[in-house]
Amino acid sequence: MDLRKTLFLQLFLSTLTFSANNYGCCIEAGQKPPSPYIIQLQASNTNQTLVVRWHANESHLQEQMEHYELQIARPDHVVSVYSMSVHPYGGDGVHTLAWTSPLPLECADHSVRIRSFYDDSISSPWSQWTTNFGLLQEPAKTTRIYPFDQVMLVGTRPLLCCIPPPGANITQMQFNKVPYPLISIGDRVKAIEADNLTIPNGTFKRMRFSCTDSTTSKNTSIIFPSIPPEKPRNFSCETSDLKNVICTWEPGKEDYLLGNKKRNQTININLPNPGNSGGQYKCEESSCKFPVVTGLEEYHLSLLVSNPLGKQSAQYSFNISDRVFPVAKLYRVRRGVTEANVYWTVEGWLSPVELLCQVTLNESLAVVRSGSDEGGFQANMSGLLPNTLYSPRVRCGLKGKTPGKWSQSMPFSTYPLVTLDLWRRINQFSNNSRSVTLIWNLHVPGSAGEAVIQGYKIQSLQEGEFHTTWADTGQCQAEISIGPGQCEVTVQAVNEFSIPANITIPPVEAGERPVVEQQVTFRPQLSWTGEDWFTCGYTVEWCILGKVPCALQWMKLPRGITSLLLNPRDYKDGVKYTFNIYGCTKNRHKLLEIQTGYFLELKPVERPRLVRPVTRTSSSVTLEWYYNEEDPTHPGSIIGYWVTVKEVADLGSPGQTSELFNVSVMDPRRKWVTVEGLQEDKMYQFHLSALTKAGSGPVMTTTIKTSSNFLVYWVKILTPLAFLLSCFILLCHQRKT
């Protein structure tokens, strides 16, 4: 401002002050207050905003609100009127109004004037118009389009305009390839009002606005619908190595802006020394990394997020020692059967501060380990289960502080531990030769995987001599020949981790009394009499009788257990089982009891076979039959036989019988019976069947006729004849007389 303008302004302000001193006391009728003075009209084309600045009315010295009215006009009409009240005069006495134009400011001239009110009834004269000139008068050879490549707020209905060169007219305006009706703005300028802006679907989140003039020249602008940034949420910071700080936050909804229009993020560190440089860092969309400030414990950060439509900020303060979360990374596991060594590193950790680390397996086992080993860390995990999958993770932290996040897991499986459950069956050939059938079950505890078995190694030691044989992978038994002496046998699976199974074959003992077999009906609990000198428990073996070879099964029980709970669902009805109970000592297994029987007996399934010819008399019939009552395939123990006797009807009624009586034989080894009390020369039907506790089986049926007594027959015939002859002789004698 030059000297003349300064003097003029001082004179003008003095005049206003003098008028205010007089005007504050009294106002004559018809006198108006002086007009406000617009000192600045500033335009922001990017935001389509006019900022008006004016001096307050100096006549209003009393403590009351000041009232103003502003008019904003284009050359052809007033487009906006504002009435506003402001606080009393104070400070530099300058007031400001920001007005956003719906039409881009480049498309038309916009003028502003202002007046003030006293007591809401007396107004000052209008001030002179102050104009912000558009670009209509600037020379151009092609059609200009506004707004040009601009970010605009979603949900608004913007006015879009075109300024043709002199001598040309706008013939068409399209938004998103859709023509819109033209709106005249002054002489040549044309505009359209677009629909509500939305985020377009598809890959490119933008819209096209084009103008065509009468010279067929076409110009295009890109509109970027967007939203102002949201306030960052969950703003926090941490360090993993005391060298760099990483801050993260939730940025809110995406604004779909790219390039130089995309959202910007900046972090400012409020340093104790304002002169210290390097306290501001540009950031990614949701994270920021900056170096730790040497010697700074308390951090006070400001996060500023902005895009062309607005800005937001968030603050965060922390003590650096409370936000140390080291990042641990597993890199190796050395596994065994029941233990494993876990190795890890802590990324970027070079600080002398001691760390405290935790290792967890399957969320159930935690081991604490502090310090490091030659730059790395390790922990020994013991007490693991063989052939089991584990997923170790590790985390570390400063002592007494919250540890960092768990690392990614590194799954591994412990090695399988292969064991064999070994048993034997001894077959006596002669006093000097025996055959032993070795039987085993393979056990691989755990579920992580199958154990790879290459075969089985069988070793026997008898009288100081070793013998070794092999069995293939798929086998579960082997035959060996031994002598009469004691023999030590070892069977081991050929595998990386396996435990050999041992069993002792006792020597042949001459004169040993055999164990008496007990016939029983099995209950859910099998019991036997134990002895204290059986130091290593008992073995119960059983199989289904009548099958060759017997499907031998066994179970080993510890010392002091003299019963075994049997589940009836594991055994079939009508099948005969034998249970052998052995007592175990260090050098042998001794047979204690043999229990044979059924869980549930069924009726016999075979009928007896009759021995012919049948012995008969005139009053009796003797039946004999064949039946193997010792056959182990019977569905029940044979306890005897049942005979039913029926009389066959006369020849006039063939096929009809009537039951007379029954005869039972309750000794399964007695296979004959004499049925007496029959009538001579009669037909009888005999029904014979075997018996178990469940009842009688299939019936053998035969029909036999009793024999006749001829002496009695002739007595019966000759007696009447002799009587008649005697009567005839007597009659003849009387006649002669």
pLDDT tens column, 583-596: 998 878 889 999 99
- Which CATH number is associated with domain 609-706? 2.60.40.10
> With 50 as the cut, is the pLDDT of residue 22 above it?
no
Q: Cα 363 vs. chain centroid, distance in angstroms? A: 15
Nearest-angstrom CA–CA distance, 126 and 110:
16
Coil vs helix vs strand at 348: coil
> With 50 as the cut, is the pLDDT of residue 123 above it?
yes
* Of 9-18, 25-34, 74-83, 174-183, the least confident: 9-18
CATH class of the structural domain 3-132: mainly beta
Give yes or no for a cis peptide into 158 (omega within 30° of 0). Answer: no
Nearest-angstrom CA–CA distance, 572 and 549:
18
The structure tokens listed for 219 are: 């110009």
Nearest-angstrom CA–CA distance, 222 and 151:
9
User: Angle at CA 391, nearest 5°, toward 390 and 392?
Assistant: 110
Nearest-angstrom CA–CA distance, 239 and 237:
7
pLDDT grade, residue 5 (50/70/90)?
Answer: very low
**In this structure, are residues 97 and 62 in contact, taking their beta carbons and an 8 Å threshold?**
no
Same topology, domains 325-413 and 517-598? Answer is: yes
Specify the higher pLDDT residue, 537 or 19: 537
Q: What does the CA dihedral 129, 130, 134, 139 come to, rounded to 10 degrees?
A: 90
Strand partners, 504: 488
pLDDT grade, residue 93 (50/70/90)?
Answer: confident
pLDDT grade, residue 86 (50/70/90)?
Answer: confident
pLDDT above 90 coverage of the chain, percent: 52
| Letter string b/e over residues 551-590, b meaning 16 or more CB atoms within 10 A of that residue's CB | ebebebbeeeebebebeeeeeeebbbbbbbbbbbeeeebb
- DSSP classification of residue 570: G
Residue bearing tokens 């700080």? 245
The domain 233-322 having CATH identifier 2.60.40.10: the answer here is yes
The whole-number average pLDDT for the span 40-48 is 91
> With 60 as the cut, is the pLDDT of residue 568 above it?
yes
> With 90 as the cut, is the pLDDT of residue 569 above it?
no
Average predicted confidence (pLDDT) for the chain: 85
Which uninterrupted H or E stretch holds 397? strand 392-398
The structure tokens listed for 70 are: 């502003």
Residue 346's identity, in one-letter code, is V
Q: Could you state, in order of their start, the residue ranges of all structural domains in the chain?
A: 3-132, 144-226, 233-322, 325-413, 419-505, 517-598, 609-706
* Residue 656 burial (C-beta neighbours within 10 Å; 0-12, 13-18, 19+): exposed
The whole-number average pLDDT for the span 705-722 is 68
- DSSP classification of residue 156: -
The structure tokens listed for 146 are: 């506004």
Specify the higher pLDDT residue, 631 or 62: 631
Specify the higher pLDDT residue, 658 or 702: 702
* Of 597-601, 610-614, 714-718, the least confident: 714-718
Coil vs helix vs strand at 8: helix
Most distant pair of Cα atoms in the chain: their distance = 217
Nearest-angstrom CA–CA distance, 155 and 167:
36
Residue 724's identity, in one-letter code, is L
* Interacting residues of 398 by C-beta distance below 8 A, sequence separation 6+: 321, 324, 353, 355, 356
* Residue 489 burial (C-beta neighbours within 10 Å; 0-12, 13-18, 19+): buried
The whole-number average pLDDT for the span 49-62 is 74
The structure tokens listed for 276 are: 């210290």
The whole-number average pLDDT for the span 590-608 is 92
* Of 191-195, 233-237, 722-726, the least confident: 722-726
Q: What is the per-residue pLDDT for 671?
A: 94
The structure tokens listed for 304 are: 């500023």
Nearest-angstrom CA–CA distance, 355 and 193:
65
Residue bearing tokens 């086992």? 365
The superfamily (CATH) of domain 419-505 is Immunoglobulins (2.60.40.10)
Which uninterrupted H or E stretch holds 4? helix 3-23
- Per-residue pLDDT tens digits for 482-529: 988 889 999 999 988 899 999 999 888 766 778 888 888 888 889 998
The domain 325-413 having CATH identifier 3.40.50.720: the answer here is no
The whole-number average pLDDT for the span 329-336 is 93
* Of 352-361, 392-401, 468-477, 636-645, the least confident: 352-361
- Per-residue pLDDT tens digits for 436-461: 999 999 999 888 878 888 999 999 99
- Which CATH number is associated with domain 517-598? 2.60.40.10
- Per-residue pLDDT tens digits for 253-293: 999 998 888 999 999 998 877 566 558 999 999 999 999 99
* Of 351-355, 388-392, 522-526, 635-639, the least confident: 351-355
CATH topology of domain 144-226: Immunoglobulin-like (2.60.40)
Specify the higher pLDDT residue, 690 or 719: 690
Q: What is the per-residue pLDDT for 556?
A: 92
